[in-house]
């Protein structure tokens, strides 16, 4: 039986306007050239609530999660942890973004959280912590060919309470709502604060509003000139130290906060946005 492929047959699109169409397609996160902000700064359809930490207002921008996704913690949870840290360590953090990643962002750039040194969200411009919603129905899969840093991260994920199984070729990490809350609230949040503390100790504390772009760029370049592993190690050390201290004082873990009807209604939030162990492993989001 002859194959249907004929190498001598010309593509009928050669020599036309459609020639080569699709060859330059790449799976990337789209960026609008008219908007210089990074994709995770674009918080459309978000709710804003304000909480105080050491007498300083912190703005929380909350995006409603998509079906299947859930926010690990409430604004009151985050404010509660920040209020347990030394005041100098959180000074300068003016906003927390609880954002919903797109499917492409979750696929190409999956993170638990990140720190933005100069975030532009609506009326706010300055340092902010970003914590992303997560789909606990979809497991995380890692290749078994892990370097030393990823092996350490796998151990951290196991300590967070995630269920990890090893197959022949990969690690399968299953995330429950409870382990998601513990990992993001008691480790990722502290890790991002560790980056902020490392920044303030490495360079001068940047202004909350960028008045001098040259000064800001020089500070950012000086911080970025340090090896990435050195910066990550500093953040991990801070998170490990503060977590150990807070657990020793029995300040953490604590029950979810801000889930009562009055608090949610005041911020135009819904109970289904957040992890709530009292409602079982999954909440009804239909």
Task: Show me where the domains of the chain are located.
Answer: 39-135+176-279, 140-174
CA-closest candidate to residue 128, choices 201, 217, 37, 213: 37
Dist CA 55 CA 190 (whole Å): 20
pLDDT tens figures, 68-119: 999 999 999 999 999 999 999 999 999 999 999 988 888 888 999 999 988 9
Report angle CA 144, 173, 105 to the nearest 5 degrees: 95
Give the pLDDT band (50/70/90) at residue 285. Answer: very low
Dist CA 50 CA 95 (whole Å): 9
- Mean pLDDT within 178-205: 92
Dist CA 138 CA 116 (whole Å): 27
Residue 10: per-residue pLDDT: 64
Residue 281: per-residue pLDDT: 46
Question: Would the pLDDT of 213 be above 60?
Answer: no
The answer to whether 99 and 43 have CB atoms below 8 angstroms apart is: yes
DSSP code of residue 277: G
The answer to whether 149 and 131 have CB atoms below 8 angstroms apart is: no
Residue 282: per-residue pLDDT: 45
Question: Would the pLDDT of 256 be above 50?
Answer: yes
Burial 137-152 (b: 16+ CB within 10 A, else e): eeeeebeeeeeeeeee
pLDDT tens figures, 65-81: 999 999 999 999 999 99
* Rg value, the chain, Cα: 22
Contacts (Cβ under 8 Å, ≥6 apart) of 249: none
Higher pLDDT, 67 or 21: 67
Question: Would the pLDDT of 277 be above 80?
Answer: no
Question: Would the pLDDT of 170 be above 90?
Answer: yes
Burial 177-213 (b: 16+ CB within 10 A, else e): bbbbbbbbbbbbbbbbbbbbbbbbeeeeebbeeeeee
Question: Would the pLDDT of 214 be above 60?
Answer: no
pLDDT tens figures, 119-167: 999 889 999 999 999 999 999 999 999 999 999 999 999 999 999 999 9
The answer to whether 187 and 160 have CB atoms below 8 angstroms apart is: yes
- Mean pLDDT within 206-210: 48
Residue 225: per-residue pLDDT: 84
Pairing mode, strands 113-121 and 124-132: antiparallel
């Amino acid at each position: 039986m002859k194959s249907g492929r004929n190498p001598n047959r010309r593509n009928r699109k050669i020599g036309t306007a459609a020639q080569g169409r699709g060859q330059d397609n790449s799976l990337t996160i789209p960026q609008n050239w008219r908007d210089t902000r990074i994709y995770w700064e674009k918080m459309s359809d978000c709710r804003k609530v304000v909480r105080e930490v050491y007498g300083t207002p912190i703005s929380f921008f909350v995006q409603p999660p998509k079906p299947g996704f859930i926010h690990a913690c409430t604004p009151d949870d985050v404010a509660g942890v920040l209020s347990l840290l030394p005041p100098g360590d959180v000074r300068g953090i003016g906003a927390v973004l609880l954002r919903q990643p797109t499917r492409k962002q979750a696929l190409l750039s999956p993170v638990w959280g990140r720190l933005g040194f100069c975030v532009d969200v609506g009326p706010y411009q300055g340092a902010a912590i970003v914590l992303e919603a997560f789909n606990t129905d979809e497991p995380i899969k890692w290749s078994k060919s892990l370097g030393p840093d990823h092996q350490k991260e796998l151990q951290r994920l196991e300590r967070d309470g995630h269920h990890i199984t090893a197959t022949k070729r990969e690690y399968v990490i299953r995330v429950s709502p409870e382990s998601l809350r513990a990992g993001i609230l008691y480790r990722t949040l502290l890790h991002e604060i560790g980056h902020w503390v490392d920044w303030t100790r490495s360079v001068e504390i940047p202004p909350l509003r960028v008045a001098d772009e040259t000064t800001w760029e020089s500070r950012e370049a000086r911080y970025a000139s340090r090896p990435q592993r050195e910066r990550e190690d500093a953040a991990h050390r801070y998170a490990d130290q503060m977590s150990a201290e807070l657990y020793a004082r029995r300040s953490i873990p604590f029950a979810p906060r801000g889930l009562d009807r009055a608090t949610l209604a005041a911020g135009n939030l819904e109970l289904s946005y957040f992890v709530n162990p009292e409602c079982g492993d999954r909440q009804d989001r239909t």
